[in-house]
Amino acid sequence: MQTFGELMFTQDVRAEQETRGSADHYARPYRELTIGPREQEFIETRTSFYMGTVNSDGWPYVQHRGGEAGFLKVVDDTTLAFADYPGNRQYVSTGNLAGDSRVSLFLMDYPRRARLKILARAEVVEASDEPELTATLAAPNDRPVEKIFKLTVAALDWNCPKYITPRFDEEEIEAMLGPRMRSMAERIRELEAKLQDAGLN
């Protein structure tokens, strides 16, 4: 792997850093990160991510990918993979990758205000060509897997939590508030019963 800075800090970027006064800060070498236990746990507990590609005319395209936790899997210390199912059949990301295999992924944990950025090269293969991997990636439903996206990670970087607005899904809200709400509901029922016994309800 390379470092995030080696791939992202082009001459144009460094010139802008110089102009804006951040060049000295980013002149320090980026530490090379790999997919370790922390990264694997983060990746495999996401229920969505954003993936950017670029088309042959140079236009960027960002696609949202979602599924049950674990739908994006760590295959080994440099490879990720996820299953692709039939959708609107525009094939924008797939078509873009035919001309340029580079992708950029943003993985977000909104409640904890954490973000992992991943740069990779993607290979799109037919599900029938990788039956064992397809079986590993397939969601527990009857939807047929059409393709497999295999991502060879080039670099990754943890981003600062600044400006990440916390958001919570239904399961997270239930985990935080469910027990308290059920306790309050039970207490209300007890009080209503006492009022009824006292003839006040």
Round to whole Å and give the CA distance between 49 and 160.
17
Q: Which CATH superfamily is domain 33-167 in?
A: Electron Transport, Fmn-binding Protein; Chain A (2.30.110.10)
Domain boundaries, the chain: 33-167, 168-201
| Mean of per-residue pLDDT scores for the chain | 90
Average pLDDT over residues 123-129: 94
CA dihedral sign of residues 28, 29, 30, 33: negative
To 5 degrees, how large is the angle CA 27–CA 33–CA 39? 135
pLDDT at 201 over 70: no
Q: Are 121 and 103 in contact (CB under 8 A)?
A: yes
pLDDT tens-digit profile of 44-63?
Answer: 999 999 999 999 999 999 99
pLDDT at 139 over 90: no
Rg (C-alpha) for the chain, rounded Å, is 23
Round to whole Å and give the CA distance between 155 and 28.
17
Round to whole Å and give the CA distance between 200 and 102.
71
Whole-model pTM?
A: 0.84
Residue 166 pLDDT class (50, 70, 90 cuts): confident
